[in-house]
Structure 1
Amino acid sequence: MPLIEVKLYEGRLDGATETELIAKITDAVTEVFGEQAREATWIVLQEVPATRWGIAGVPGKPPLSARG
């Protein structure tokens, strides 16, 4: 079943945010594919330094806060 990769600016996640994001993405997949998909759904959260992102041709900037 699905392997879903989520890439975010480094520093955007904490334990509670990771748990909630994984649960809600899994719930969305399950809503589409049915409850049998829950056990086979993999979610990978990967934090990437902001300067490694290119946005409109310019390197990204770190977020002001973990949730901002």
Structure 2
Amino acid sequence: MPLVTVKMLEGRSDEQKKALVEKVTAAVSETTGAPVEAVTIVIEEMKKNHYAVGGVRASDK
């Protein structure tokens, strides 16, 4: 059973997350041979003030 965790900043719509889950599931199933029913996707959303690159928080951009 493949388990995929997607970490991303908050702010995507439900439609975008639905499309992401569908496409990642299909890609994992296709490449691993696992049935789609066995593929688990977990989306972990981060607040923009909890993520930084180069010392700059995403919320400060």
The TM-score normalised by the length of structure 1 is 0.75
Residues of 2 paired with 1:23 and 1:17: CA distance? 10
Q: Say what the alpha-carbon RMSD is for the aligned residues.
A: 1.9
Displacement of 1:57 after TM fit? 2.5
Displacement of 1:62 after TM fit? 7.0
Displacement of 1:54 after TM fit? 2.0
The 5 Å alignment of 1:8-23 reads 8-12=8-12, 14-23=13-22
- Structure 2 spans left out of the alignment, 5+ residues: none
Residues of 2 paired with 1:37 and 1:57: CA distance? 42
- Listed one character per residue, the Cα deviations across residues 13-39 of structure 1 (whole Å, up to 9, x for unaligned) are x221111000000010011112x4311
**CA gap 1:4/1:55 in 2 versus in 1, 3 angstroms:** same
Over the matched positions of the two proteins, sequence identity in percent amounts to 36
2:44 aligns with 46
1:26 aligns with 25
Residues of 1 paired with 2:46 and 2:57: CA distance? 12
Structure 1's consecutive aligned runs of 4 or more residues displaced over 2 angstroms after TM superposition are none
- Structure 1 spans left out of the alignment, 5+ residues: 64-68
Count the aligned residue pairs.
Answer: 61
